[in-house]
Amino acid sequence: MFDSIKQSALYQELSLRLVFIGCFVSLGAMGFGFDNSWWGGALGLSPFGKKYGEWDEAQNDWAIPAEKQSAGTGTGSAGIIIGCLVAPWLCSNLGRRPTLLVMAGLLTVGIILEATAITSFWQLVVGRIVVYSGIGLASNVVPMYQSECAPAKVRGAFLTAYSFWNTFGAFLATLVVYLCQSMTSQWAYLTVILCQLLVPLGIICSYPFLPETPRFLVYRGRFAEAELAIKDLFGPNYNAAEEVQLLQLQVEEQRELHKATSVMDCFKGSNLRRTIIAMGVQILQQAQGVSFINNFIVTFMKQLGFADPLKYNVIVIACGLVANVISFYTFDKIGRRSNMFWGAFVMAAMMIGVGGTTANGYEVLSTMTQNGCVAMLVLWYVFYGLSWGPGVWILGGEIGTGQLREHTLLLSSLGSFVTSVPINFVNPYVQAAIGGRTAIIYGSFSVTAMVFVYFLLPETKDRSLEELDEMFQQKISTRQFKSYVCTGLGAQIRQLENKEDVSEKKVREIEHVEAAI
C-alpha cells in the first residue's frame, strides 16, 4: 500500500513547500465559508433574532424578517462583485502576492465592523460588504496564484485547497455557532465574529514566506526573479533556467499570434469558448443551490420542524468537508468531466427528492421522513464537495490564457456572484411562499449542469496551462481534449514540470523556435 502511495503523483509532485504555499494562500476561501455559514447559522438563533429582528407569531419565536435576511445576505454578494472588479487591476499592477495582502486588510476591517455592530443591523451589513470585497479579491487571486504555481499533474489537488478551506471555514463557523447557543447573545456573537480574524492573521503571518508566481514574473519580463521563484517552489536542483526560457518563448508566441489585453478580448476568437466554460461552471454552481445550503439551510430545517437544525447543519457540512479531502485525489485521478457530470446527476436527484418529499407541507412529515430529508441533504453536500465545490475553482484557474487570466477569472467570479445575488435576495420570499418545493428549482438546474458538462466542458487534467492554450487555439472538440497529443512548447513545459526527459531533438526545436521569434 505504501509503495502505491509513493508512486502517486501527489506524493511525487507535492513537496512540503508546495503544501505550505497551497494551504496559506487558500485561507482567503476560509473567510468566504466562515462568513457565509455563521450568517446562515445565526439566522436560526433566537438571541440573534431578538437582537436584530422581531417577534414572529407564526414560529412563536424571535426571528429576522425576510426583508432583513434578504438585505444582509444579498449585500454581501454585492461586496464580492466590488472585489472582483478591482482584482484584475491589482493582480496585474501590484502582482499576485501583494494582492493577497490587500485582501487580508479588507477582511480585517470588515470583521472589526461586524464585531462592533452591537446594536446596529446596518453596520453589520456594511461590515459584510467590506468582508465580501476581500472575498471577491480572494476568488480571483487565489485560484490564479495556485494555477500559476502548481505542477500540471497535481494542479487539481492544488486548486482543490481553495474549496477545502471554504468548506472548512463553513464547518468551523457552524460548529462555533452551535456551541455558542447557550451563551448570552452578545458574547456568542463576538466569539463567532472574532474567530474570523484567524483568516487575515494567517495570511499576514505567512506572507513573507510566499513567492511571487513564476508565470507573472515572466509575463513582466523579470526573468531572474522567475528563476528564483521556480527554485523556491520546486527545489534548488530544478532546471529553472530551462523552464523560464520555455515560458518566455511561449509568452512571445502568444503575443505574436493572439494579441489580447482587455476584457473584450475574452469574447473574441477561441477565447470566447474559454469564457463560456469559466463563467458557465460558476453560474451553474450557484444555480444548483450552494447559496441556499450555506445561507438558508437552518431556516429551511426549522420550517421542516427540526428541533435542533444547527446540529444537523454541522453534520451536513462535516460530511462535505470529508468529501473535499477525498477530492484532493479524485480530480487529478478521475478527471474534471466525470467528476462534474456525475456530481450534477446525484445533486439533481437529492434536491428533487427533498423538494418532492416536502412539497405537500411540513406539518405532515414524520420523524423518519425528516431524517430522510437530512440524509439527502448530506448526500447533496458530499457530492458537491466531490465535484462542483472544488471543480469550478480548478477550471477557473486553468481555463484562461496567460494574457487574459486576470480578466477570465474576473468574468468567472462575476458570473458566480451575479447569480448568487438574486438567489440570496429572492430565496427568503420563495421559501416562504412555496416551502420545500424550493429544492426542486435547484435540482432542475443540476440537470442543466449535466447537459453543459457533456457538450461544453473538455478534460483538462494532466495538461500544462500552455498545452491548453494550444488545444483551444486549434479548436479541438470537447471530447477530443483527453486524447489529443500536443507537440508545441506547452508539451515541453509539462514534461519539464513532470520531471520527464527532454531529448536533444526537442532542445533543437526550442532553439529553432527561439531563432524564429
Rounded-to-integer distance, Cα 162 and Cα 373, Å: 28
- Predicted confidence at residue 448, as pLDDT, reads 96
- Asked if residue 359 and residue 286 are part of one domain, the reply reads yes
> What are the tens digits of pLDDT across the range 304-350?
677 777 778 788 888 888 898 888 888 888 889 999 999 999 999 99
The verdict on pTM exceeding 0.95 is no
21, 27, 160, 162, 178 from 336: Cα distances, Å: 23, 23, 12, 16, 35
- Assess contact for 43 and 299: CB atoms under 8 A: yes
Tell me if 477 is assigned to some domain.
no
Give the number of other Cβ atoms within 10 Å of residue 507's Cβ. 12
Share of the chain above pLDDT 90, in %: 23
Tell me if 402 is assigned to some domain.
yes
- Asked if residue 516 and residue 427 are part of one domain, the reply reads no
257, 262, 364, 472 from 252: Cα distances, Å: 9, 18, 67, 17
Mean pLDDT calculated for residue range 389-403: 87
How many domains does the chain fold into? 2
- Predicted confidence at residue 324, as pLDDT, reads 87
> What are the tens digits of pLDDT across the range 5-48?
555 556 566 778 888 888 888 888 888 778 777 776 666 666 67
Q: What is the CATH number of the domain that holds 138?
A: 1.20.1250.20
DSSP 3-state percent helix, strand, coil across the chain (nearest 5): 80, 0, 20
- Predicted confidence at residue 167, as pLDDT, reads 84
Tell me if 346 is assigned to some domain.
yes
DSSP assignment of 323-371 equals HHHHHHHHHHHT-HHHHHHHHHHHHHHHHHHHHHHHTT-STT--HHHHH
- Asked if residue 332 and residue 399 are part of one domain, the reply reads yes
- Asked if residue 200 and residue 317 are part of one domain, the reply reads yes
For residue 476, the one-letter residue type is: I
Rounded-to-integer distance, Cα 161 and Cα 431, Å: 32
- Asked if residue 498 and residue 419 are part of one domain, the reply reads no
Tell me if 479 is assigned to some domain.
no
45, 309, 431 from 426: Cα distances, Å: 21, 22, 9
Which of 504, 424, 492 minimizes the C-alpha distance to 248? 492
Which of 377, 502, 489, 398 minimizes the C-alpha distance to 442? 377
- Assess contact for 280 and 402: CB atoms under 8 A: no
Q: What are the residues whose beta carbons fall under 8 Å from the beta carbon of 479, sequence distance 6 or more? A: 458
Rounded-to-integer distance, Cα 433 and Cα 420, Å: 19
C-alpha grid cell for residue 82? 466590488
Task: Give the position of cell 503523483.
Answer: 9
Q: Residue 60: which region, alpha, beta or left (left: phi > 0; alpha: psi -120 to 50)?
A: left
- Asked if residue 227 and residue 166 are part of one domain, the reply reads no
Tell me if 2 is assigned to some domain.
no
- Predicted confidence at residue 466, as pLDDT, reads 84
- Asked if residue 495 and residue 422 are part of one domain, the reply reads no
Mean pLDDT over the full length of the chain: 81
Tell me if 246 is assigned to some domain.
yes
- Predicted confidence at residue 403, as pLDDT, reads 80
- Asked if residue 136 and residue 70 are part of one domain, the reply reads yes
Rounded-to-integer distance, Cα 356 and Cα 352, Å: 6
pLDDT at 475 over 70: yes
- Assess contact for 104 and 141: CB atoms under 8 A: no
> What are the tens digits of pLDDT across the range 264-286?
888 988 889 999 999 999 999 99
Tell me if 381 is assigned to some domain.
yes
- Asked if residue 307 and residue 271 are part of one domain, the reply reads yes
- Asked if residue 150 and residue 68 are part of one domain, the reply reads yes
> What are the tens digits of pLDDT across the range 343-383?
999 999 999 998 888 777 655 667 777 788 888 888 998 99
Lowest mean pLDDT among 81-85, 106-110, 360-364, 381-385: 360-364
- Asked if residue 343 and residue 451 are part of one domain, the reply reads yes
Tell me if 1 is assigned to some domain.
no
Phi, psi of 421 (to 5 degrees): -60, -55
DSSP 211: P
- Predicted confidence at residue 310, as pLDDT, reads 75
- Assess contact for 399 and 408: CB atoms under 8 A: yes
Question: Domain range for residue 109?
Answer: 9-210+258-472
Sign of the alpha-carbon torsion through 217, 219, 222, 223: positive
- Asked if residue 171 and residue 316 are part of one domain, the reply reads yes
56, 145, 282, 510 from 397: Cα distances, Å: 45, 8, 12, 27
